[in-house]
Amino acid sequence: MLTLLHHPLCPRSRYVRLILGEYGVETRLADEPFWERRDDFLMLNPAGEIPVLVADSMPPIPGAAIIAEFLEETHAPEDSEDRQLMPQSPGQRVEVRRLASWFNDKFHAEVSGPLVNERVFKRHMTKEQGGGPPDTDALRAARHNIRYHLHYIGWLVRTRDWLAGDRLSLADLAAAAHLSAVDYLGDVPWNEDEMAKNWYARVKSRPAFRPLLADTLAGIPPARTYADLDF
Amino acid sequence: MLTLLHHPLCPRSRYVRLILGEYGVETRLADEPFWERRDDFLMLNPAGEIPVLVADSMPPIPGAAIIAEFLEETHAPEDSEDRQLMPQSPGQRVEVRRLASWFNDKFHAEVSGPLVNERVFKRHMTKEQGGGPPDTDALRAARHNIRYHLHYIGWLVRTRDWLAGDRLSLADLAAAAHLSAVDYLGDVPWNEDEMAKNWYARVKSRPAFRPLLADTLAGIPPARTYADLDF
């Protein structure tokens, strides 16, 4: 049995949950208040960040990209190429990894990281841990930045069926995971790009997405259309 | 023929150069002033960052971690497990990727990124590009942070022959690449940890390291012992 140390609204943790869901890997979820820097948690991941996947007779697996590579190498359905989230050809693998990193790193730095940090994590933190009221400049910058990312998604799916090519891949899950955390907070301007919205509706309707749509945080209810497949 | 768009003192580019050197892959190097955001460069990597590896009949390959995975999948010597930089077992692969990310992401954010940016890249940038005199607070923080990273390296090689286990791996190349950029600038306090220094001397003496030790930047000469194998 696998255990994922996560936070329900951490975008990178959501990415891992989607992969586990697509591959049908049963996993126990454990909320980790990473900002407390618990000794037991730092033993698992000295970097002090979530997500961390804990598997039997394995070292702890830290970080969304490393967990994704691990799951590809150990849990991808070998008999069904249609269900694989990482294509086989070197060129396609580059494109999938490029876009997964685009969302896990760049979109996270410019949009989902600041929004979730300012609006969710900081509520739980003491002043010493970095808590306090949201930084309105950071929120404004993130809400500005998300527009060009939506247009980028729209541009990609105008030329391809899915973000990285003609099949669903890790790239779609990464993008949708980060957007879903922002969407929970009501900060995705879906009217900016119709194609991006249509693509998200397709990913959102997958069975693997259902557990994410059922998340609710105490004190921070989801945006009105967060769980609607027709939004 | 491969082409690597890089900067001689970019730590992540140095990591890729070391991998290419270890695997004996001939590569053309092209200096990329990424801060100018040339249109041709943004076409290759919309994220606007180096390194980018360009290979025939492949999409451009952006980012140190993605290039490393690509080279592992396409250029690792299949017939010689001793020369492979990525081990075969899932648990060892996790540890190699964890430490490569530790240096490419965490050490870069806390040490090598600020030092190289403040002392090298900003010299070339216009004010609009972010240029100007070095931020002394950023330099001070980076020079403080490097100490605990050196102790971490020392702690790792007290229990293992190499950073991630009993063989040289991508983890050693990542750590040494970032340290080498900082060492060029004379900012590694080697007396902090004798074991870390001994480990670095071993990596530094490898043939793949020689081209890095021959680098010299106009206007910024290397520190006195930068190229010495006995330092």
Which of A97, A101, A102, A155 is the best substitution to test chain B (most B C-beta atoms within 10 A)? A97
Query: B66–A94: do the CB atoms touch at under 8 Å?
Result: yes
Which of B43, B71, B88, B97 is the best substitution to test chain A (most A C-beta atoms within 10 A)? B97
B32-47 average pLDDT score: 97
Q: Is B52 on the interface with A (CB under 8 A)?
A: no
Residues of B in contact with A163 (CB under 8 A): none
Domain ranges, ordered by start, for chain B: 2-82, 87-210
Q: Does B79 have pLDDT greater than 90? A: no
Residues of B in contact with A169 (CB under 8 A): none
d(CA B61, CA B63): 7
Residues of B in contact with A74 (CB under 8 A): 90
Whether A87 contacts A166, CB under 8 Å? no
Q: Does B173 have pLDDT greater than 90? A: yes
d(CA B67, CA B58): 12
pLDDT score for B227: 96
Q: Does B78 have pLDDT greater than 90? A: no
Domain B2-82 coded CATH 3.40.50.2300: no
Whether B83 contacts B93, CB under 8 Å? no
Give the β-pairing of A2-6 and B2-6.
unpaired
Q: Does B27 have pLDDT greater than 90? A: yes
pLDDT score for A80: 79
Query: A58–B90: do the CB atoms touch at under 8 Å?
Result: yes
Residues of B in contact with A62 (CB under 8 A): 98
d(CA A194, CA A181): 19
Q: Is B94 on the interface with A (CB under 8 A)?
A: yes
Q: Is A30 on the interface with B (CB under 8 A)?
A: no
Task: Determine the distance from the C-alpha atom of residue B85 to the mean position of all C-alpha atoms in its chain, rounded to a whole number.
Answer: 15
For B101, the closest of A59, A66, A94 (CB atoms) is: A66
Residues of A in contact with B97 (CB under 8 A): 65-66, 69
Report how far apart, in Å, the C-alpha atoms of A37 and of each of A34, A61, B1 are.
Answer: 5, 17, 47
**Residue of chain A minimizing CA distance to B88:** A73
For A94, the closest of B58, B94, B98 (CB atoms) is: B58
Q: Is A91 on the interface with B (CB under 8 A)?
A: yes
B144-159 average pLDDT score: 97
DSSP one-letter string for chain A = -EEEEE-TT-HHHHHHHHHHHHTT--EEEEE--GGG--HHHHHH-TT--S-EEE-TTS--EESHHHHHHHHHHHHS-TT-GGG-SS-SSHHHHHHHHHHHHIIIIIIIIIIIHHHHIIIIIHHHS-TTTT-SS--HHHHHHHHHHHHHHHHHHHHHHHHSSBTTBSS--HHHHHHHHHHHHHHHTT---GGG-HHHHHHHHHHHTSGGGHHHHT--BTTBPPPTTTT-S--
Q: Does B33 have pLDDT greater than 90? A: yes
| Mean pLDDT value across chain B | 97
For each successive 10 residues of chain A (231 residues), what is the average pLDDT?
97 98 97 97 97 96 98 90 91 98 98 98 95 97 98 97 97 98 98 98 98 96 96 91
Q: Does B182 have pLDDT greater than 90? A: yes
And the tokens for B16? 């890729």
Q: Is A69 on the interface with B (CB under 8 A)?
A: yes
Residues of A in contact with B61 (CB under 8 A): 94, 98
Residue A71 one-letter amino acid: L
Query: A90–B70: do the CB atoms touch at under 8 Å?
Result: yes
Q: What is the ipTM metric for this complex?
A: 0.96
pLDDT score for B62: 98
d(CA B147, CA A96): 36
- Give the pTM: 0.97
- Model confidence at B81, pLDDT cuts 50, 70, 90, reads confident
pLDDT score for A83: 87
d(CA A83, CA A72): 11
pLDDT score for B105: 97
pLDDT score for B82: 82
Query: A98–B74: do the CB atoms touch at under 8 Å?
Result: no
Give CA angle at B24 (B18, B30), nearest 5°.
Answer: 60
Q: Which CATH number fits domain B87-210: 1.20.1050.10, 1.10.1740.10, 3.40.47.10, 2.170.190.11?
A: 1.20.1050.10
Residues of A in contact with B74 (CB under 8 A): 90
pLDDT in tens, B190-229: 999 999 999 999 999 999 999 999 999 999 999 999 999 9
pLDDT score for A82: 82
Torsion on CA atoms B104, A28, A13, A99, rounded to nearest 10: 80
